[in-house]
């Protein structure tokens, strides 16, 4: 009980100006110079040091001809004072960054289908409001972003639950659907085809997501429903950038999110094949660790994701359903 009371008395009486004086004394080893460093008169500094030593119950310095030398216990107190003032200085600097528009760091995991639309718009607004906020975006497939969440390498993620038991550790909030398209390069022999079937596409090279991804699982289910085996000529690729480069430099076929290929279709670098696929692929959403509070930047970013998700759904409901490249003159 006495120990607890002593600790409370110490906390109540010790102030940051006391710590500043101790650090100044440790630097100067002279009371007059230390008082000048913290902008107080020497008598005031002397009284303050006496108060500090009375609070701790022992002397922090030995006075001798060479000035003031820390005692063994005093050296421990001085080390604490330096750490505390250093943390206060960093806190003040961080507060100034926040005042000028920065706010720490936000790390987001995201599937490639979410990046061109909801994620991009939310990040753009966040950075416009908080230009000094550090934003990192990791991952490209749902299995990747779920692993990033489990390893605590991201604050939140955009993707899908990847296993039947994922809901035990992660909360999922639906945000948007992800329409899939079968695409080839503009110079592909199939680029002008009026009709297409999965059976006819099997002999061609394919670029597919890893087998652990939900999109790949759905593709394999569609093959199974059609009585088809996995194509023999396959490149597995989790990188959207690599996939797009491979598509434009080979006669491969790929199943990619509409939001990812939209600009490539408009620029006539890729062509959408006339075959609907992946209709039953579940929409993506917000993933976060269960019962874990988030920092303010992450909570605000979630609000932006919800806003742009709602705007995207509203816009889609007002648009006549046709190939996306035709909706942009």
User: Are 122 and 87 members of one domain?
Assistant: no
The residue with greater pLDDT, 314 or 240, is 240
Is residue 327 over pLDDT 50? no
pLDDT-derived band at 205 (thresholds 50, 70, 90) equals very high
pLDDT digits (tens, 9 = 90+) for 228-282: 999 999 999 988 889 999 999 999 999 988 888 989 999 999 999 999 886 656 6
Q: How far apart are CA 250 and CA 301, in angstroms?
A: 39
Based on the domain organization, do 195 and 259 belong to the same domain?
Answer: yes
Q: What pLDDT digit, counting tens, does each position of 46-82 carry?
A: 999 998 888 888 999 998 877 888 999 989 988 888 8
Nearest to 120 by CA among 197, 53, 176, 183: 176
State the Cα torsion 251-253-258-264 to the nearest 10°.
Answer: 0
Query: Is 70 exceeded by the pLDDT of residue 316?
Result: no
pLDDT band at 115, cuts 50/70/90? low
Mean of per-residue pLDDT scores for the chain: 83
User: Residue 188 has which token pair?
Assistant: 């592909």
DSSP 8-state class, residue 244:
H
The CATH number given to whatever domain includes residue 28 is 1.10.10.10
The DSSP secondary-structure symbol of 166 reads: G
329, part of any domain: no
186 and 250 share one domain: yes
**Per the domain annotation, does 327 fall within a domain?**
no
**Total domains in the fold of the chain:** 3
- Residue 165 shares a structural domain with residue 34: no
Which CATH number covers residue 186?
Answer: 3.40.190.290
The yes-or-no verdict on residue 161 having pLDDT over 60 is: yes
What is the pTM assigned to this prediction? 0.53
Both 307 and 170 in a single domain? yes
The residues that bridge with 183 in the sheet, in sequence order, are 254, 272
Residue carrying the six token digits 């992660």: 170
What pLDDT score was predicted for residue 328? 29
Structure confidence by residue, pLDDT tens digits, 82-113: 888 877 876 776 677 666 655 678 899 998 76
**Domain for residue 328, yes or no?**
no
Strand-pairing partners, residue 255, are: 182
In a domain, 277, yes or no: no
Q: Is residue 278 part of a domain?
A: no
The boundaries of the domain holding residue 145 are: 105-177+283-322
Question: Of 99, 119, 140, which residue constitutes the final position of a domain?
Answer: 99
Say what the pLDDT of residue 244 is: 93
């Amino acid at each position: 009980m006495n120990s607890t009371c002593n600790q409370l008395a110490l906390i109540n009486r010790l102030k940051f100006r006391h710590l500043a004086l101790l650090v100044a004394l440790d630097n100067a080893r002279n009371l007059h110079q230390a008082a000048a460093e913290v902008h107080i008169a020497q008598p005031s500094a002397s009284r303050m040091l006496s108060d500090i030593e009375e609070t701790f119950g022992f002397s922090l310095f030995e006075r001798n001809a060479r000035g003031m030398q820390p005692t063994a216990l005093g050296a421990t107190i001085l080390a604490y004072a330096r750490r505390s003032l250093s943390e206060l200085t960093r806190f003040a600097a961080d507060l100034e960054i926040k005042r000028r528009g920065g706010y720490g760091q936000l790390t987001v995991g995201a599937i490639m289908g979410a990046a061109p639309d909801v994620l991009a718009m939310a990040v753009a607004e966040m950075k416009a409001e908080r230009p000094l906020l550090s934003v990192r975006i990791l991952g490209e497939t749902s299995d990747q972003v779920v692993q990033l969440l489990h390893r605590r390498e991201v604050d939140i993620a955009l993707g899908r639950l990847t296993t039947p038991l994922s809901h035990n550790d992660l909360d999922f909030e639906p945000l948007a659907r992800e329409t899939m398209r079968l695409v080839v390069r503009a110079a592909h022999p199939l680029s002008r085809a009026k009709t297409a079937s999965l059976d006819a596409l099997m002999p061609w090279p394919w670029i597919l997501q890893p087998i652990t991804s939900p999109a790949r699982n759905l593709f394999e289910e569609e093959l199974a429903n059609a009585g088809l085996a996995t194509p023999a000529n396959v490149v597995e690729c989790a990188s959207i950038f690599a996939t797009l480069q491979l598509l434009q430099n080979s006669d491969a076929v790929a199943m990619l999110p509409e939001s990812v290929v939209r600009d490539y279709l408009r620029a006539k670098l890729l062509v959408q094949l006339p075959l609907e696929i992946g209709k039953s692929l579940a929409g993506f959403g917000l993933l976060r660790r269960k019962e874990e509070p988030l920092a303010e930047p992450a909570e605000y970013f979630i609000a932006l994701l919800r806003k742009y998700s709602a705007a995207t759904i509203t816009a889609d409901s007002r648009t006549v359903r046709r190939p996306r490249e035709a909706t942009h003159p």
